[in-house]
Structure formats: structure tokens, C-alpha cells
Structure 1
Amino acid sequence: MRPRVEATHGPLTTRTLDLTVAGHRVATPCAVIGEGADALLLPALSSISAREEMRPLARELSATYRCLVPDWPGFGAHPRARLPLNPANLHAFLDALLAAAPGPYALGVAAGHAAPYLVAAARRHPGAFARLVLVAPTWRGPLPTAMGPERAAWFGRIRRAVEMPLLGEALYRINISPPIIGRMMRAHVYAEPAHVTPAVIAAKHRITRQSRGRFGTAAFVTGGLDPATSREEFLASFGDGLPPVRVLRPEKAPRRSGAEMDALIGTGRVSALTVPGALSAHEEFSRDVAAAIRAP
């Protein structure tokens, strides 16, 4: 059984921000949940990324925070914007979002690959966030993590193949079928296989079927959205000039991703708490994650 979710305090509404990023119009739907001090919650970047994954955590926080939960450009359960997907444009997206909805935010939360983007935004916008919470922070995409930098030449070729009009769509469909999504979620997204129900898989599959969905997946999986090129560069983004940062380290994070989280915690530049779950702890164990966010 999934953990029980508390009732939402205040209405759940949808707001669309009409942003301009690198000369492109990016209509950005956002969930708005809760009452109280403003909080920005950023979903992870992945093949199944959508603002809906942050909804359980936003509900848990809704008695204290008014949570704004946007979709990233190129991701989400809606037709995707025609924006070139690269780290510079994702940084620019957060700049545009903070211009349109400046807060200030009592809390910024980011999961997975969104974490270093939130940290960089907090550094560029002093005073925008009172504190940051990073849930299972990552900086390196799946293929670079699994295959190592020595095979980097292949990553661009794979991305270009998936982005091709006919071959790319066929490759994408094969690799985001419901059985593969279920296998991926049981392997490293959720910690408890019993939580990967047919309904959960169907909901994630609907996200992948959106128009232009293959472009975000190709960019993320091949490392095209990696905001750093090395662990040293990733760690150097923390430290002076940031609000307090807390890392929530899931107990069952994959070995290689967990090692990067442990390296960050080991710098002493962040505080840290352990939470149950794997890479999507914020969705699977939202109550525990909310408690860790609220902990002194």
C-alpha cells in the first residue's frame, strides 16, 4: 500500500506562466497547493518527469506552505515546448520563472537533477530563497553514470538517433513501453516494488506519450542536461553565498548516485538527513520527506 496522504490545506489550482526563454515562448503550467509562506518545488528531470510527482509532497506541506510546482520545459504531462534542451536554457528557464513569480520563497525544494539547477538559481538570485532542500540530488545522467566518461562519444550519437523524425520515434517508443517503465521504477525510482502498481505505471506511461516527449528523454538520459562535468565542479557549486542547504539522502538510492550524494554530504557544506525510498523518495514516501523538511 502507498503511504496515506493527508488532506490538502487550501485549494489545488493550476496557473500557467507565459515565459520567454532564449527567444522561445514557454507556456509553463504550475500546480499551486496549500496556504502559508511561499515554496517552490521542482520535480526531477527524467523520462517520466512531471509536476504531478511533487503533488504528494506539496499536500503534506500544504498546511504551512503555499507550494508552486512547475513543469520543466521539455517535460510534463502536456505537449512540450519547442525549446532547445541544454543546461544554459534550463538555467535561463529558472531565471524567467523567478522573474514571473519572484517570491521570495521561504523554501525551495528540488529532486534529482533539478537540485543543482535550484542551487545555481539561488546563487544568481540572492534573497530569493530562505533555505533549500535537495531530495536525492544528482548531477550526472543515466548513461554517463552507468558507462563512464570514456564512452562519452556515444552519448551524442544516441541522442541524435532518438531525435531523428522516424527512427527516433520508434526507438523512443520501444524504450518507454509500460514493461520497461515498470522495470526502471522497480530498479531505482521506487524502493518498494509493491508500490509500482499497474496504475502508477500507466500514469507514468501517459507522461511519456506527450508530443515531443522523446527530446527531453534523449537529452536527460545521454547527459545533455548535466549541469556539471565532474564531481569536483558539482561540489564547488555549494558553499558560501547560498542559503542553508539540507540534503535528504534516500536509504535505497542506487549505488553510484548514492556515492555522489555522500560526497556532497561529506563536504560539510550541507546538512543531511536520511529518508526512506530511492530516487523518487519525494513521491513514494512524501510524509517522511515532509517530516525531514520540517525537522529542525
Structure 2
Amino acid sequence: MSNVTSTQFPTVAATMPTYQWSWQGQSLSIAYETEGVGKPILLLPAFSTVSSRTEMSGLAALLKSQFQVTTVDFPGFGDSARPRLDYAAPLYRQFLADFIRDIYTSPITIIAAGHAAGYALNLAATAPNSVSELVLLAPTWRGPLPTMAQGQKPWLKGVRELIRTPILGQFLYQLTTTPSFLAFMYRRHVYADANKLTPDLLTQKRQLTQQPGARYGSAAFVTGGLDPYLDRSEAIAHLQSLTIPVLVAIGQSSPPKSTAEMQALAAVPNIVSHTLPGTLGMHEEYPTELYEVILPFLTSHQD
């Protein structure tokens, strides 16, 4: 069961409604906002320790003059509720399907980054009447530790459960969310231009990690618990099944393993692809460059 506690389809001014969603008997308040007027677009941020709808704000600001643009925080991240749930792929697949069913009355465009691109692809393949166009920004399907371990390993679940424990788990989580560690990870995988990592930006990211319950969703992502696919073949099969227009954007500075996965998706016949500046956080770091390829793609498919 779910319901929306304020206007679903605003006109021009931004609104801050709350989507009430239930999972396994627990009610969660989900933060989202909508701006602009026109054909609806849903922007989905990448999953990460600092996942937030705000990372899509630059792209949303560019698109809102021509479209109705909604950004949303996933359960367990951003400004949404962060209870001690078992955050896993089934939760997010169901959340995305329910959110789109309850908020929209016709097929929409989804622009999704990172792991969220995998969930958007899954939805487009399994509920084809809900999505009209799909834009995948630096799409990924395997979390950081499974990537390092070259696949899902039994010990990853143990690490996830350890981080969820009250004392030791909190201590380990704090070690991986210090300002210096966040800056290191951003320089290594998220931003291509280290000069953009201002103290204000890093402070905002650090604040996201310190919210009550923040470690639960983060632990699940890092250990592969939120991976939308188990291997590349599943993602390729879903992409090949689509009949809607799809654009894949690849960050030219992305890590080699991630680049290989993005290029495999881009190689599917009839997929539009562009390689642009940036790495895994290209949607936040280079919104203008993305807008310049997304807008022609979307307008070319308008009725």
C-alpha cells in the first residue's frame, strides 16, 4: 500500500511531497520533488554511501524548462526513511514499480545513474508499458566489493551483517565515512576533476553519511546486496528485449572494469551511446554535457 501526501503533478514551482510506501509491513516516508511542466521525466540518483536526489539537481535544472522533472531519494538514502531493513534488490525493484504506478498515469522517461540504471532497465524490460524512453548514465550493476573480489562471494554477506551491528558496525562504518576517505573515493572513482571537490561539497556528502540509519543501505550497496543483476548477460538480455529508445552515456574516465560493462551495453544493436567527460559521477559533475546529448535524444522521439 502507498499514497502521496501532496499534489502529484505540480506546474512550475518546486514542491516537496512525501510518498508513503510500505515494505514488509513497515511504512516508509520517501522524499521526492517535482519541477517544470511537460512530458514527465524521472531522474534516479546513483546508489552509493552518499546517494541523494541532489546529485541530479544540475541536470534537473536544465531539463525543467521543457519537461516535468521529478527527482527521488531511494529508501534508506538521502532524505528518505532509513529504518533497519534488509536492503536488497527485491525492495528497490518493488519500490520503483510502485512509485511509478502511483505517481504517473502514462509511460515516462527515466534517466538513471549507476546502479539505478540497472533497476530502470529491469523495470523497462519487465513492465514495458511504464517506460517510454530510457537514459542510462554510467550504468553499473556490480557493487564495489564484488567488483574487487571479481564476483559475489559468501563472505560479503558477513561483512554486510557486521556493519549492521550496533557497536562494531558503527565503528567500521565511521572509518569509511571520514572526510578524508570520502575525498579519496571521490577523486578515485566519482569525479574526474579533483578541483571540483570543494570543502562545501565534501561537507554536504559527509552529512548524508551521518544520518541515523545511514549505514544499513550503504553496507548493502558496498557489499553487493543492491546489485540489480548477477552478471552481464542478464542486463544484456533485458536491454535486447526493449523496443523503446535507449541512450547509454559512458564516462571517459570511468574505471576499466566499469567501462567494459558500459561498453557492452552500448554495443547492443539500436542503442544510442555517447562517451563524455567524467567517470561514475558524471551525472553530477557534467550535467551540461549530458543535457546536450539527452535533449536531442528525447526531442527526436516526441510525438
Could you tell me which residue of structure 1 aligns to residue 64 of structure 2?
A: 62
Could you tell me which residue of structure 2 aligns to residue 72 of structure 1?
A: 74
Moved more, 12-21 or 177-186: 12-21
1:96 partner amino acid:
D
CA distance in 1 between counterparts of 2:243 and 2:21 reads 26
**Does residue 1:89 correspond to 2:91, yes or no?**
yes
CA distance in 1 between counterparts of 2:228 and 2:129 reads 22
Could you tell me which residue of structure 1 aligns to residue 279 of structure 2?
A: 278
Change beyond 3 A, Cα 1:90–1:185: same
Q: Is contact 2:60–2:69 with CA below 8 Å preserved after alignment? A: yes
TM-score by length of 1: 0.92
1:160 partner amino acid:
E
Q: Is contact 1:46–1:220 with CA below 8 Å preserved after alignment? A: yes
Deviation at 1:292, TM superposition (A): 1.2
**Does residue 1:259 correspond to 2:260, yes or no?**
yes
Q: Is contact 2:74–2:80 with CA below 8 Å preserved after alignment? A: no
Q: Percent identity?
A: 36
Q: Is contact 1:122–1:242 with CA below 8 Å preserved after alignment? A: no
Alignment partner of 1:264: what SS?
A: helix
Q: State the number of aligned residues.
A: 287
Deviation at 1:175, TM superposition (A): 0.6
Could you tell me which residue of structure 1 aligns to residue 47 of structure 2?
A: 45
CA distance in 1 between counterparts of 2:241 and 2:228 reads 19
CA distance in 1 between counterparts of 2:66 and 2:118 reads 25
- Aligned-CA RMSD value: 1.6
CA distance in 2 between counterparts of 1:168 and 1:117 reads 28
Alignment partner of 1:132: what SS?
A: strand
Q: Is contact 1:30–1:68 with CA below 8 Å preserved after alignment? A: yes
CA distance in 2 between counterparts of 1:63 and 1:22 reads 39
CA distance in 2 between counterparts of 1:26 and 1:204 reads 23
Q: Note the alpha carbon deviations across 1:99-154, whole angstroms, 9 max, x for none.
A: 211242442100000011011112233232221100000000001112212x7122
CA distance in 1 between counterparts of 2:80 and 2:15 reads 16
Could you tell me which residue of structure 1 aligns to residue 130 of structure 2?
A: 128
**Does residue 1:112 correspond to 2:114, yes or no?**
yes
Change beyond 3 A, Cα 1:96–1:24: farther
1:213 partner amino acid:
A
Could you tell me which residue of structure 1 aligns to residue 208 of structure 2?
A: 207
Could you tell me which residue of structure 1 aligns to residue 149 of structure 2?
A: 147
1:36 partner amino acid:
G
Deviation at 1:98, TM superposition (A): 1.6
Deviation at 1:78, TM superposition (A): 5.1
TM-score by length of 2: 0.90
Off by >6 Å, runs of 4+ in structure 1:
none
Change beyond 3 A, Cα 1:99–1:106: closer
Unaligned runs of 5+ in 2: 1-10, 298-303
Q: Note the alpha carbon deviations across 1:219-239, whole angstroms, 9 max, x for none.
A: 000001112111112211212
Could you tell me which residue of structure 2 aligns to residue 180 of structure 1?
A: 181
Change beyond 3 A, Cα 1:242–1:14: farther
Could you tell me which residue of structure 2 aligns to residue 5 of structure 1?
A: none
Q: Is contact 2:76–2:217 with CA below 8 Å preserved after alignment? A: yes
Could you tell me which residue of structure 2 aligns to residue 225 of structure 1?
A: 226
Alignment partner of 2:247: what SS?
A: strand
CA distance in 1 between counterparts of 2:81 and 2:228 reads 24
Unaligned runs of 5+ in 1: 1-8
Change beyond 3 A, Cα 1:156–1:254: same
CA distance in 2 between counterparts of 1:216 and 1:158 reads 13
Alignment partner of 2:130: what SS?
A: coil
1:148 partner amino acid:
Q
Q: Note the alpha carbon deviations across 1:74-114, whole angstroms, 9 max, x for none.
A: 11145514432111111111121022112424421000000
Deviation at 1:26, TM superposition (A): 1.9
CA distance in 2 between counterparts of 1:241 and 1:278 reads 26
